[in-house]
């Protein structure tokens, strides 16, 4: 969410940013919110003047009563009562105008970084760099669920009976591999200085609206009926929420945390053939990283975060590339974002396995995450997040890139301790 003063003083910058994000339907909102803000400030001034007048008149009443001037005191009381009635009207107007302004301000997108490429959607994202050599073996690589079934490692039919489409049972070595990847990712991030955390898996509505846009909320979140609680779509939500309405001394920054959680997502819309199996599902597990830092440090942390993911995937012998998200592909709160994509030798192309985002002070403004500087002044922190690993998609990349011609799957050295020393997974079929 933008600073209202910034919008008021820089309407054309805000409008151009909306155009850059190809959201022209939101252009009228800028003038609307500036007009509402003017009304709000005028209403507040009148209300403040009346409060000051009430205080002055109240003292005058006491003085007149002390002098025995009861009739004059009653006249002043009448004026106070009239002012009080008007003040009640103004306070109701203040509340209504504030709600209207907040609703619009939470819809106007954040100002994107100047380095972000301008484009309408993800088809115009820009490849930045490749890490590792993509390989297409000289044998056929089956679809990922077919690989898993050779290990008796997945049961989609039973999951459909129990929970419906978009769920799965992982079994045996595949389930163990899933848990091993999560455990390895946890230790990988701890070794890079991040504090490990297991957060709440449900959050209140004020946290939801603090960490994401209304559009994202509608498309992703599951509401707990009858309660002010939502299932998290990613642990970033509750991890950033941890700092709601806090003031952190500047000397304690940055705050760097890595978190484990299950994730729950509606995943609305039709999905293509390549999104069957465990590619796009309603429930999965994830290792995440978040940073709360000084504004001037957020570009540096942004680069550090996505490099962590690249390094992790390369340690598992999986080629990856980074893809700069264009303006039209950025969620409204994001300043800048890069996707990490893993190589799929079966599809002979890359696919998304994680996303790193700098949100500037947007989440901090909504959640009142503040920093106290050495001079005693307070300012808003910057927040960033990045996927360490989400095993459903990681499993696809892992199995395809480590599959051998005989159907076995090699286990990279870094993962072997988590697999009980296993060097190769041998299929049952």
Q: Please report, for the chain, the start and end positions of each structural domain, with discontinuous segments joined by +.
A: 4-105, 122-425
Share of the chain above pLDDT 70, in %: 96
Structure tokens at 101: 């302004």
Contact at 8 Å (CB) between 273 and 294? no
More confident residue, 276 or 155: 155
pLDDT classification of 394: cutoffs 50, 70, 90:
very high
pLDDT for res 270: 45
Q: What is the pTM of this model?
A: 0.89
pLDDT higher than threshold 60 for residue 130: yes
pLDDT of residue 268: 63
Angstrom distance (rounded) from CA 120 to CA 149? 39
Question: Per mean pLDDT, which range of 113-117, 265-269, 309-313, 348-352 is the poorest?
Answer: 265-269
Confidence of residue 399 (pLDDT cuts 50, 70, 90): very high
Q: What are 72-114's pLDDT values in tens digits?
A: 766 767 777 777 888 888 989 999 999 999 999 999 999 999 9
Average pLDDT, the chain: 93
pLDDT in tens, 231-251: 999 999 999 999 999 999 999
* Alpha helices, H only, 164-234: 172-190, 205-211, 214-220
119: nearest Cα among 19, 21, 17: 21
Flag whether pLDDT at 388 surpasses 50. Answer: yes
Q: Over 60: is that where the pLDDT of 273 sits? A: no
With 60 as the cut, is the pLDDT of residue 9 above it? yes
- Lowest pLDDT segment from 76-90, 117-131, 256-270, 355-369: 76-90
CATH code of the region 4-105: 1.10.287.40
**Contact of 118 with 18, CB cutoff 8 Å:** no
In this prediction, residue 54 has a pLDDT band, given cuts at 50, 70 and 90, of confident
Q: What topology does CATH give the domain 122-425?
A: BirA Bifunctional Protein; domain 2 (3.30.930)
364's tokens: 């901090």
| CA distance linking residue 145 with residue 396, whole number of Å | 9
Which of 85, 77, 47 minimizes the C-alpha distance to 59?
A: 77
Q: Is the pLDDT of residue 61 over 80?
A: no
pLDDT at res. 294:
98
Whether the upstream peptide bond of residue 254 has omega within 30° of 0, thus cis, is: yes
Residue 410 has pLDDT above 70, yes or no: yes
Residues 6+ apart with CB under 8 A from 406: none
Whether 418 has a pLDDT exceeding 80, the answer reads yes
Whether 348 has a pLDDT exceeding 50, the answer reads yes
pLDDT at 312: 97
Q: What's the rounded mean pLDDT across residues 267-279?
A: 62
Separation between Cα atoms, residue 269 and residue 100, nearest integer Å: 31
The percentage of the chain sitting over the pLDDT mark of 90, rounded to a whole number, equals: 82
Quickly list DSSP for 314-356: HHTT--EEEEEPPGGGS-TT-SEEEEEEEEETTTTEEEEEEEE
- Is the pLDDT confidence value at 213 over 70? yes
Between CA 358 and CA 302 the distance in angstroms is: 6
Give yes or no for residue 272 having a pLDDT over 70.
no
Residue 270: which residues within 8 A CB-CB, separation 6 or more? none
């Amino acid at each position: 969410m933008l600073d209202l003063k910034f919008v008021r003083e820089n309407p054309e910058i805000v409008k151009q940013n909306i155009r850059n994000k190809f959201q022209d339907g939101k252009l009228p909102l800028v003038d609307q919110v500036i007009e509402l803000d003017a009304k709000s400030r005028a209403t507040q001034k009148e209300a403040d003047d009346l409060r000051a007048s009430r205080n002055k008149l109240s003292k005058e009443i006491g003085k007149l009563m002390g002098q025995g001037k009861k009739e004059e005191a009653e006249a002043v009381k009448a004026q106070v009562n009239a002012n009080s009635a008007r003040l009640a009207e103004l306070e109701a107007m203040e509340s209504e105008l504030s709600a209207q302004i907040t609703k619009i301000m939470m819809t106007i997108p954040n100002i994107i970084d100047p380095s972000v490429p301008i484009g309408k959607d993800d088809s115009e994202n820009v490849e930045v760099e490749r890490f590792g050599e993509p390989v297409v073996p000289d044998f056929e690589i089956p679809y990922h669920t077919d690989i898993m079934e050779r290990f008796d490692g997945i049961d989609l039919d039973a999951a459909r009976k129990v929970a419906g489409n978009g769920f799965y049972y992982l079994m045996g070595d595949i389930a163990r591999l899933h848990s091993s990847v999560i455990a390895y990712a946890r230790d990988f991030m701890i070794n890079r200085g991040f504090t490990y955390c297991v957060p709440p898996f449900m959050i209140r509505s004020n946290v939801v609206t603090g960490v994401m846009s209304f559009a994202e909320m509608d498309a992703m979140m599951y509401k707990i009926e009858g309660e002010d609680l939502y299932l998290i779509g990613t642990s970033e939500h509750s991890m950033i929420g941890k700092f709601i309405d806090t003031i952190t001394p500047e000397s304690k920054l940055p705050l760097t945390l890595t978190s484990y959680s299950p994730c729950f997502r509606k995943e609305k819309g039709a999905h293509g053939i390549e999104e069957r199996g465990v590619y796009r599902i309603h429930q999965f597990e994830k290792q995440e990283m978040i940073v709360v830092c000084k504004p001037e440090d957020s570009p540096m942390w942004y680069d550090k975060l996505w490099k962590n993911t690249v390094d992790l995937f390369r340690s598992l012998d999986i080629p990856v590339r980074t893809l700069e998200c264009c303006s039209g592909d950025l969620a409204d709160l994001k300043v800048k974002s890069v996707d990490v994509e893993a190589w799929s030798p079966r599809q002979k192309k890359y696919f998304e396995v994680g996303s790193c985002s700098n949100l500037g002070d947007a989440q901090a403004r909504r959640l009142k995450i503040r920093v106290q500087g050495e001079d005693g002044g307070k300012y808003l922190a910057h927040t960033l997040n990045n996927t360490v690993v989400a095993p459903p998609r990681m499993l696809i990349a892992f199995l395809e890139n480590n599959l051998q011609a005989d159907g076995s799957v090699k286990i990279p050295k870094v993962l072997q301790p988590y697999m009980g020393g296993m060097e190769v997974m041998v299929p049952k079929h």
